[in-house]
């Protein structure tokens, strides 16, 4: 035999030939380790089959033990019969029966242990099967999540490209602002405002017949529904000077609210269909740059605004809204004449508004982005307190609270021009109206019994109607 070979006898009894060189010994050790590893791996693969075989063997042993138990029972019965025949045999049989009984108990214990082992093996097998199912489910969920993430990534990339394009268009539009010099329109604006005030005074500051005063609450509810921002002042159900002043102011507020609402709803920016009042809500309160942009948008011109159906629709909406409002208080003749005057006012307002829009010019945006904004912020509820200069120019009393719709514009020269104020009421007029309305309510309500509380009506003074900026 060559010196490099090892016999099976040496491998079997674990002896090591002393003549093996060190490299051969290492090779032998590696070979032995590899064989053990192979045997161990092979045992892993046969575990499942071995488990099933053990289960079968245990069941076979259980059946064999059951058969042995039956046989032992027969033997015991035979011994009992023999014991009855002979006392000595009975003693022997008793001893043998005790031995058999002890053996029977041992067999029963073994059977119980085997049953427990079977149950444990079945539980382990069920857990292994469930773990395999859970792993399959988890793998499927991971694959679905991966597919979903891939879809989200593709959508995100697409959205990012679209957003960049929209941003580029918006920045291009913002690069130029639109502005108008209202000097040439000041007389027209003032004239419309004076005639609107005259209309309100002519029809709503006049004496109202008692039969129509009884419908005044419905008229006020309709006014509140149109005005819709803060509570309107109460109106005494009479023809006192205070009641006439309040009715006139509310009529003016309703007309201006309708003009504001429907005029803004028909104004769009160039190159898009986004309504202007949506832009104002989003941009007007952020910073000076956004305010300048809003001012430009308000005066922007687009092809859409020059379409006659659009202008006619706005005019019809204002006319119809005021018609429903006026019909709740005025008599037939006064109502007809009032709506004729309203139609003329609307024609002049629309002509002026279109003239303002057509007079817009593009200017350098850098002139506006750096300026400090002093103009009233665009909002349908913006309130300002008129200065002495503004009051004298518009022939209005001082200390007048003006509630303006979005049309309060600061021009490039720094002047502020008013288009259509919503309401003109002094603080003293509000107080007088509240007092007179409360007196009427007190007369209509029976006096409380002794010990009862009359209650107290909350005043609207100090609320949002008089919140403003100086």
Tokens of 35: 């064989």
Assign 426 a pLDDT band (cuts: 50, 70, 90). Answer: low
Please report which confidence band the pLDDT of residue 340 belongs to, taking 50, 70 and 90 as the band edges: very high
Between 275 and 208, residue with greater pLDDT: 208
Residue 54: both structure tokens together: 């053990």
Alpha carbon 405 to its chain centroid, in Å, reads 29
Residue 378 has pLDDT above 60, yes or no: no
**pLDDT at residue 166, as a whole number:** 59
* 3-state SS assignment for residue 456: coil
Please give the backbone phi and psi of residue 422, each rounded to the nearest 5 degrees, phi first.
-85, -45
In terms of average pLDDT, the best of 90-99, 270-279, 369-378 is 90-99
Asked if pLDDT for residue 77 goes beyond 90, the answer is no
Higher pLDDT, 27 or 45: 27
The per-residue pLDDT for 366 is 32
Which residues partner with 401 through β-bridges? 385, 425
Of residues 281, 313, 319, the one with CA closest to residue 297: 281
CA distance 320 to 251: 14
For residue 379, what are the contacts with CB-CB under 8 A and spacing of at least 6? Answer: 280, 284, 406
At 189 the pLDDT is 64
Between 464 and 350, name the one with better pLDDT.
350
Residue 124 is predicted with a pLDDT of: 87
Residue 207 has pLDDT above 70, yes or no: yes
Least confident of 159-173, 209-223, 289-303, 350-364: 289-303
Q: Is 342 exposed, middle or buried (0-12, 13-18, 19+ CB in 10 A)?
A: buried
Lowest mean pLDDT among 166-175, 225-234, 256-265, 382-391: 382-391
Using a pLDDT cut of 70, give the percent of the chain over it.
51
Residue 267: the pLDDT is 43
- Confidence band, pLDDT 50/70/90 cuts, at residue 466: very low
pLDDT band (50, 70, 90) for residue 237: confident
Decide: 373 and 352 in contact? Cβ < 8 Å. Answer: no
pLDDT score recorded for residue 376: 30
The residue length of the chain stands at 470
What angle, 0 to 180 degrees and rounded to 10, lies between the N-to-C axes of helices 308-327 and 241-265? Answer: 160
Q: Is the pLDDT of residue 313 over 70?
A: yes
pTM attached to this predicted model = 0.41
Greater confidence (265 vs 284) lies with 265
With a cut of 70, say whether residue 98 has pLDDT above it: yes
Q: What is the pLDDT of residue 337?
A: 93
Does residue 175 surpass a pLDDT of 60? Answer: no
Which DSSP string do the residues of 213-281 spell out, in sequence order? HTTHHHHHHHHHHHH-SSPPPP--SS--HHHHHHHHHHHHHHHHHHHHHHHHHT-B-TTS--BHHHHHH
Q: What is the DSSP string of 31-55?
A: HHHHHHHHHHHHHHHHHHHHHHHHH
pLDDT band at 133 (very low <50, low <70, confident <90, very high): confident
The pLDDT value recorded for residue 278 is 46
pLDDT at 330: 87
Residue with tokens 């809500």: 281
Which residue stretches of 86-185 are H helix?
A: 87-174
The whole-number average pLDDT for the span 191-212 is: 83
Model confidence at 64, pLDDT cuts 50, 70, 90, reads confident
To the nearest whole percent, how much of the chain has pLDDT over 90?
1
Lowest model confidence (mean pLDDT) among 21-25, 107-111, 290-294, 368-372: 368-372
- pLDDT at residue 277, as a whole number: 42
Task: Say if residue 403's pLDDT is above 70.
Answer: no
């Amino acid at each position: 035999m060559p010196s490099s070979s090892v016999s099976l006898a040496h491998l079997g009894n674990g002896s090591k030939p002393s003549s093996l060189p060190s490299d051969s010994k290492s090779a032998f050790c590696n070979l032995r380790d590899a064989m053990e590893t192979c045997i161990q791996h092979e045992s892993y693969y046969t575990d499942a089959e071995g488990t099933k075989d053990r289960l079968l063997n245990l069941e076979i042993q259980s059946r064999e033990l059951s058969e042995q138990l039956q046989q032992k029972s027969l033997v015991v019965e035979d011994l009992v019969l023999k014991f009855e025949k002979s006392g000595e045999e009975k003693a022997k049989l008793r001893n043998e029966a005790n031995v058999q009984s002890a053996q029977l108990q041992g067999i029963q214990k073994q059977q119980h242990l085997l049953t427990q082992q079977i149950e444990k093996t079945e539980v382990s097998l069920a857990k292994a099967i469930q773990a395999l199912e859970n792993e399959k489910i988890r793998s499927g969920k991971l694959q679905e999540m991966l597919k979903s993430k891939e879809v989200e990534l593709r959508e995100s990339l697409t959205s990012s490209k679209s957003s960049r394009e929209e941003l580029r268009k918006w920045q291009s539009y913002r690069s130029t602002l639109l502005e108008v010099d209202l000097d040439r329109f000041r007389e027209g604006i003032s004239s419309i405002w004076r005639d609107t005030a005259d209309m309100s005074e002519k029809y709503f500051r006049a004496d109202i017949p008692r039969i129509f005063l009884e419908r005044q609450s419905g008229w006020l509810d309709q006014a509140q529904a149109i005005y819709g921002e803060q509570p309107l002042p109460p109106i005494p159900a009479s023809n006192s000077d205070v009641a006439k002043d309040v009715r006139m102011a509310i009529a003016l507020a309703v007309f201006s609210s309708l003009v504001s609402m429907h005029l803004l709803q028909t104004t769009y920016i160039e190159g898009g269909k986004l309504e202007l009042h949506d832009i104002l809500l989003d941009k007007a309160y952020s910073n000076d740059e956004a305010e300048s942009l809003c001012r430009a948008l308000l005066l922007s011109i687009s092809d859409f605004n020059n379409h006659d159906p659009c202008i006619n629709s706005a005019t019809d909406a204002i006319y119809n809204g005021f018609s429903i409002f006026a019909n709740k208080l005025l008599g037939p003749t006064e109502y007809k004449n009032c709506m004729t005057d309203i139609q003329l006012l609307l024609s002049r307002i629309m002509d002026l508004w279109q003239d303002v829009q057509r007079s817009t010019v593009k200017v350098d945006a850098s002139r506006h982005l750096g300026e400090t904004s002093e103009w009233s912020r665009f909002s349908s509820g913006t309130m300002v307190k008129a200065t002495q200069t503004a009051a004298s120019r518009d022939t209005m009393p001082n200390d007048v609270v003006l509630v303006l719709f979005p049309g309060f514009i600061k021009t490039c020269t720094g002047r502020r021009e008013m288009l259509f104020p919503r309401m003109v009421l002094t603080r003293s007029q509000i107080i007088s109206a509240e007092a007179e309305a409360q007196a009427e309510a007190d007369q209509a309500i029976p006096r409380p019994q002794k010990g009862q509380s009359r209650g107290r009506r909350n005043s609207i003074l100090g609320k949002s109607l008089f919140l403003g900026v100086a």
